[in-house]
Amino acid sequence: MQFTLEHKAPGCEARAGRIHTDHGEILTPIFMPVGTAGAVKGVHIHELKDDIKAQIILGNTYHLYLRPGMDVIREAGGLHRFNGWDRPILTDSGGFQVFSLSANRKLTEEGAAFRSHIDGSKHLFTPENVVDIQRTIGSDIMMALDECAPGTSDRQYTRKSLDLTKRWLERGWKHYKATEPLYGHYQSYFPIVQGCTYPDLRREAAGHAASLGADGYAIGGLAVGEPAEVMYDMIEVVNEILPVDRPRYLMGVGTPVNILEAIDRGVDMMDCVMPTRNGRNGLLFTPEGTMNMRNLKWAHDFSPLWEGGTSFVDSAYSKAYVRHLFIANELLAMQIASIHNLAFYLWLVGEARRHIVAGDFHAWKTEMVGKLGRRL
């Protein structure tokens, strides 16, 4: 994997770059739709490519490991062949999902023991077998196993958690270097920087991760309960340490405003379930603010869903019609909303890139942040 830094915005840390993988190039900054179980909910592959204009999607190690299982994935020839997506894929290590099962998991030096949320069966994720599982999945970018400490964790717990994450990272990195891809394409391995809301621990974690010389780095453990301003502070702290010539991935973030603020601070890659999850519940994002499509105010509004939108649903359907679909509990409403929101997110990072290249990103971002948080 190669990363080329092409432009830097004046007055802030925003960057425009290009990531080359064996499954294609990714123009950064980029938002990555989440396909937890190998599919972005309610969205076809051709819609991801042609309407949403996604360049890379996510899969999740925990969910794919449990269902359909690695035997099926390997027999299919990896996730790309299994789901028909021929562009880059990033897989989360599954650590966040395991650690969210607080009542059904146990952390040890060996790894994370947990019970399946599907059938209660016992399993163990180790730094090594998580690499093996992601080799079987065949993702272009693999993530290290880590512990995601809650945003409200005290220093003592965070210290212990970070030490474990660092030891796991060293084991995972060693196993990654000792193993080979299964399907003929290169796979990167990103360390994850933890440290909760403690700047010195974040710096320590970033320095430790950077010492490995990986292809890129992830910032984890944010947007998990801490205030937004604290999250932004931690991004700044970490990005002061991480190499400028490697992509930086902010995990699980977030709202459109969060995304622009992260880009402003030097983040290159982001993902979040918010566009599809909120869309399925009737909340649509636009450049002028958000729309609750269940509100009565849209009942007689026959204007396009998004004037000037980039996907076919934006011009094909009116606000009144989409509201009708939600009120009638039609499944099509959730599909339209998911496509619209994802297309908007990809438009947003594309516009961010355009303004970085043009040299006026910071002024544009400030104007956009003032609009994006409004309820229409």
Alpha-carbon span 163 to 169, nearest angstrom: 10
- Cα dihedral sign for 208, 209, 213, 219? negative
Q: Does 22 participate in catalysis according to the annotation?
A: no
Q: Answer for the pair 294, 282: CB distance below 8 angstroms, yes or no.
A: yes
The CA distance from 48 to 83, in Å, is 12
Distance CA 193, CA 204 (A): 9
Q: 74: which strand partners?
A: none
| CA R_g for the chain | 20
Q: Which of 51, 92, 140, 264 is catalytic?
A: 92
Burial label for 71, CB within 10 Å (0-12, 13-18, 19+), is exposed
Contact 172, 144 (CB under 8 A): yes
Looking at residue 284, what DSSP letter applies?
E
Residue 245 a catalytic site member: no
Q: Roughly what angle, to the nearest 10 degrees, separates helices 331-358 and 319-327?
A: 140
- Answer whether 91's CB lies under 8 Å from 144's CB: no
Catalytic residue among 140, 215, 264, 271: 271
Instruction: State the number of CA atoms in the 13 A half-sphere of 286 facing the CB.
Output: 21
Active site residues: 92, 271
